[in-house]
Chain A
Amino acid sequence: AQKVTQAQTEISVVEKEDVTLDCVYETRDTTYYLFWYKQPPSGELVFLIRRNSFDEQNEISGRYSWNFQKSTSSFNFTITASQVVDSAVYFCALSSNDYKLSFGAGTTVTVRA
C-alpha cells in the first residue's frame, strides 16, 4: 500500500519569506512518481512538479525548488520569496505504474501581505 504524509496542516508566512513543505512517502514499488499539486480557493488542482524514483537530482524552477531524498523517502517542496498568490492548499502525491495518485492530506499555505 502507498501512503503520503504531509505533517504540516497549516503554514502562515509574510510575503517574501520562503516556505518549505514537507512530504514523506511509503511505497513498496521500485518505480514510482512523486508530484506536487496546488489547489487555490477556486478548487482546481494545478500541476507543479514531478519526479520519478530514478531521478534524485534536485532542481529549481523559478521560485519553486524541491528536495528529493530517496534514503529518507522525502520529497520536500520550497517556495522562495512567497507571494500572496501562492496562498493555496498544496498536495504531495505518489503514483506507481498504475498511475493512480495517492494524495497527502494537504498543507494550507497562507501568505500575508
Chain B
Amino acid sequence: GAVVSQHPSRVICKSGTSVKIECRSLDFQATTMFWYRQFPKQSLMLMATSNEGSKATYEQGVEKDKFLINHASLTLSTLTVTSAHPEDSSFYICSARGVTGLRDIQYFGAGTRLSVL
C-alpha cells in the first residue's frame, strides 16, 4: 500500500522559533500533497495544497508567511511554522495523492504534534 512518512512525530519548541515538518511519500510519487491542521477532539481543516515545483495554494484564513510550504520533489513536501507561538500548537498532518492508480485517494502521514511553550 501507499506509505506516507511524516517527521518529526512530536516537537516541543520555544515561542519565536521556527519548526520544519517533513512529509515523504515512500513508495509512490505524489502529484499533490496536502497539509491539514487538527485541534484536540476536532476535525481536520485543510491548510494548503502543495504541488511539486509550484507555489502552494493556501486556504482562506491561513497565513502563507506563517506556514511556509515547499514541495521540492514528487516525494517530499515540507511545512515550516515560522516564529511559532503558543496558538500554533496543534496536530499537523500531511497527505499525498498519487500520480497513478487511484489518484483521488489521499494517504496520510502519522502527523506531527507541535507544542509551543
Contacts and interface: CB of A to CB of B under 8 A. Distances in A.
Interface stretch (B13-21, B62-70, B81-89, B99-107): B99-107
A89 to B, nearest CB: 9
A91 B108 CA distance: 13
A101 B42 contact: no
Given A52-B104, A95-B104, A105 B91 contact: no
A44 interface: yes
A10 B25 CA distance: 33
Interface residues of B, number: 23
A98 to B, nearest CB: 8
Contacts of B106: 47, 95, 99, 101
Contact of A105 (B43, B49, B103, B104): B43
Contacts of A102: 46
A105 B44 CA distance: 8
The secondary structure that dominates the B interface is strand
Contact of A91 (B44, B45, B49, B105): B44
Contacts of A50: 102, 104-105
Interface residues of A, number: 22
Contacts of A95: 104, 106
Interface in A69-113: 91, 95, 98-106
A43 B91 contact: yes
Contacts of B110: 42-44
Given A50-B102, A101-B95, A106-B43, 9 more contacts: A42-B110, A44-B110, A45-B44, A45-B111, A50-B105, A52-B104, A99-B106, A101-B46, A105-B43
What are the 10 A-B residue pairs with the smallest beta carbon separation, nearest first? A45-B108, A44-B110, A43-B111, A103-B43, A33-B104, A103-B44, A105-B43, A106-B43, A99-B97, A50-B105
Interface of A: 33, 35, 37, 42-47, 50, 52, 91, 95, 98-106
18 contacts: A42-B110, A43-B91, A43-B111, A44-B109, A45-B95, A47-B105, A50-B104, A95-B104, A95-B106, A99-B32, A99-B97, A99-B106, A100-B49, A101-B106, A103-B45, A104-B43, A105-B42, A106-B42
